[in-house]
Amino acid sequence: MARRDEHPCRSCRKGCVLRKTVLPHDCRGPNACRDQRRSNRSHRFVAEAVRRGAIGRLHTIIVSFGGWGGNGIARGEPVRRGFDYDRWLGQAPWAPYSPVRVDLWRNHWDTGAGPIADMGPHFLDIAQWAHDSEYSAAVEYEGHGQFPTDGFANVPFKVDVLARYRDGVLIRMDSGNKGIRFEGDQGWIHIDDFGNITPRKMLRDSSVSGIGYTYMAGHVRNFLDCVRSRRQPASGPEISHRSHTIAHCANICLRLGRKLQWDPEGERFVNDDDANRMLARTMRVPWGV
C-alpha cells in the first residue's frame, strides 16, 4: 500500500491551518512533525558548523533531492478487493481507480507534489536550520522543471530552482544526488542522506558522520521528552510549515513557469494573484481542516 499519510500537506494554506491547529488548540499533545534528521548528530553537526561560521559567511545552499521517475497509463479499473479506494483517495479530486495512480501517487499533483515537496521539506528543514531562517522562507523563486510528456505523471521529474533569501543567500534546489551542500566564503560542507559528511577534515570525531535518515532514536526521544514537557519538538509545526512553504513556492513557480516573489510575513506571493490562488485547494467531501 502506498503510504500517502507520510506527506499529508499538499498546499500552503493547509499548512497554515495545521500549524495554527497544532499550536494553540493542540488537544493531542506535542506533534512531532518532521524531520527525524533534526535529532541526529550528523545533521546537527552540519547545521551548527554552518551557524557558527565554520565555512565563513554562508552564501549558497544546494539542496539535491535525487532522481525522480515512474510513469504509466492510469486507465480506470475495478478496485481490487479489500482496498478502500475512496478513503485512500482522501481529499484528492475523484478519479477512477488504477494501480498506476495508487503506486505512483507521488507523481501526480492531485495526490502528491513531486520531488521538491516530497524530499524537499526534509532537507529544506536542515537548510533553514543552518541558515537560521526557520521561521521564514526564501523570498524569490525562479527555475525550470522537466515535466514528463506522456503518461499519468504530471509533476516535474527533474528540477532546478534557484531561490533567494532576503539576506542574499541563494538556495538552489536540484535533482542531484540526495544531500545538502553549504558553501561559504571560507569553505563548504556537504551531508548526504546517509549522514556522510565531507570534507572529512571538518570532523574531529569521525563518529559524528554517517548517521542518516534511518536513525530514529533521537527523533523518538525528542517526541517523548516533549510529551512530558509540553514544549514544541525539535522540528515543530511552525518550522515544519516553513520548510514546506519553500517547497510549495518552488512548485508553484515551476507550474506557472515564471519568477515569483514571496512575502514570508503575509504568506502571500507579491503581485501575482494566480500564484496566490494556488496556495489553497478544495478538498473532496467529507475531508476538511
Partner 1 sequence: MNSRNICRKLIVSALLGALVCCAAFAESFTRGQIKEILSDFRSYDYGKDPTPTHTINKIVQFIYDKPQLRSFTEKQMIALLESDATFRAKQFVCQQLWIIGSDESAPVLEKMLLDATTAEMACYALRTNPSDAVARALREALDRVGDQTQVRIINLLGDRKDARSVERLIALIEAEHTHVALTAADALGKIGGDEAAETIRKARTAASGDMHAVLTRAYLRCAEYYVRNKQSGEAMAIYTELLDNSESLLTRRAALVGALHSNDRLAADLMIAAIEQDEPVLRATAIANSTALKGAEVTRKLVTKLRTAAPSTQVQLVEALAYRDGPGVKDAIKAVVGSKDVRVRMAAFNGLAEMGDASCATLLCNALKKAQTQTEVDTILASLRRMQGDEISRAILNAIEDADPSTKTQLIHVISDRGYGQAVQELLKLCRNDETSVAKAALQAVGTLASHRALPQLLDVLLDSQDRTVQTEAIRAATAVIRRSSHHSGDIARLIQRRLDNTAGIPARCSLLRLLPAVPNDMSLQRLKAAAKDSHPSIRDAAVRTLAKYPDPAATDSLLQIFQTAADKAHRIVALDGCVRLLKADGTDPEGAVRFYERLVRHASTPAEKKLILSGLAEVRHPTALGIVQDFMKDNAVKPEASLAVIAIARNTAAMDPPTGPSTARNDQGLG
Minimum distance, C-beta of residue 151 to partner 1, in the bound complex (Å):
7
DSSP string, 256-270: HTS-EEEETTTTEES
Query: According to CB under 8 A, which one of 2, 79, 139, 154 is a site residue for partner 1?
Result: 154
Longest dimension (CA), the chain: 60
Query: According to CB under 8 A, which one of 57, 75, 80, 166 is a site residue for partner 1?
Result: 75
DSSP string, 105-145: GGGSTTT--HHHHHTHHHHHHHHHHHHT-TT---SEEEEEE
- The smaller minimum CB distance to partner 1, of residues 3 and 94, is found at 94
Answer whether 287's CB lies under 8 Å from 150's CB: no
Please list the residues that pair with 116 across neighbouring strands. none
Query: According to CB under 8 A, which one of 94, 168, 265, 266 is a site residue for partner 1?
Result: 94
C-alpha torsion sign, points 167, 159, 65, 281: positive
Query: According to CB under 8 A, which one of 8, 53, 69, 90 is a site residue for partner 1?
Result: 53
Query: According to CB under 8 A, which one of 3, 5, 73, 265 is a site residue for partner 1?
Result: 73
Applying the rule CB under 8 A, the residues between 266 and 285 that interact with partner 1 are 273-274, 276-285
**Distance (Å, rounded) from C-alpha 154 to C-alpha 163?**
23
C-alpha torsion sign, points 207, 210, 214, 216: positive
Question: Given strand 58-64, what is the order of strands in its sheet?
Answer: 197-198, 187-192, 179-184, 58-64, 170-174, 158-164, 140-146, 260-263, 268-269
Answer whether 119's CB lies under 8 Å from 213's CB: no
The yes or no reply on residue 48 touching partner 1 (CB under 8 A) is yes
- The smaller minimum CB distance to partner 1, of residues 137 and 153, is found at 153
- Site pattern 107..136 for partner 1 (x: CB under 8 A): ------------------------------
User: Looking at 118-126, 145-153, 209-217, 237-245, which segment touches partner 1 (CB under 8 A)?
Assistant: 145-153
The yes or no reply on residue 255 touching partner 1 (CB under 8 A) is yes
Query: According to CB under 8 A, which one of 149, 168, 200, 265 is a site residue for partner 1?
Result: 149
- Site pattern 204..243 for partner 1 (x: CB under 8 A): x-----------------------xxxxx-----------
**Distance (Å, rounded) from C-alpha 289 to C-alpha 185?**
45
Task: List residues near partner 1 by CB under 8 A.
Answer: 20, 23-28, 48-49, 52-54, 60, 62, 73-76, 93-96, 98, 142-144, 147, 149-152, 154, 160, 162, 170, 172, 183, 187-188, 204, 228-232, 255-258, 273-274, 276-286, 288
